[in-house]
Amino acid sequence: MKPWKVIERAPAPGGGELVLHQRGEEFAIRVNGRELMSSRQHGSEERMAEVACARLSGKRPKVLIGGLGLGYTVRAALDRLSPGAEVVVSELVPAVVAWNQGVLAPLAGRPLEDPRVKVEPRDVGELLRAAEGHYDAILLDVDNGPEALTQEGNRWLYGERGLASIRRALKPRGVVVVWSASPDQAFASRLKRAGFDTEVVETPARGKGGGPLHTLFIGRL
């Protein structure tokens, strides 16, 4: 088996280092040696977009995606949205955006080149706090889950204040989907208490290819 090689490095939010690795045609981004995302496993990210876009109607739906990753969630959303849709991608790390515009671009079919996409180099929490009744759907994949945080500053996002901000940012009948590497009953309960019709779905990391199960927390208004 070919060894992994380092392609580029970048500072990680909150400290540490993001490292882009390549092995043959596979890519992975790791932080402090821990894998955050991989081109081998993106079925759950695509399922996330499928769930979020399932009941969007109208000619100009507005979608906020927190976390660019390798671009698979953005691509899956674009494939399900109308030509007049608006997709805002919040990505705090400039290097991740640059990688998706460069060496990673072909993986998901160059989604950042779609004119419906606007990349915001800001924390998703900042965008949520500034919005009121703006988005039809919000997709959050900025951590490995509500407890498995990539940076401690994100903890508020999964608590009462964060969920209240998400609710305010959504339009009536809006939906939020939160990705997690593992189940979290406490978060599901908080989502329900925040006024969302809550559903928890386990989905294979590789989609039809199987793999470990990831968890999607779905909240509908």
pLDDT of residue 148: 62
Domain range for 142 is: 41-220
- Any domain includes 103: yes
Positions of the chain with pLDDT lower than 50, given as ranges: none
- Any domain includes 23: no
- Any domain includes 134: yes
Look at the chain and report how many structural domains it folds into. Answer: 1
- Any domain includes 102: yes
The enclosing domain of 46 has a CATH number of 3.40.50.150
CA 38 vs CA 83, 85, 107, 198, 205: distances in Å: 29, 27, 11, 28, 10
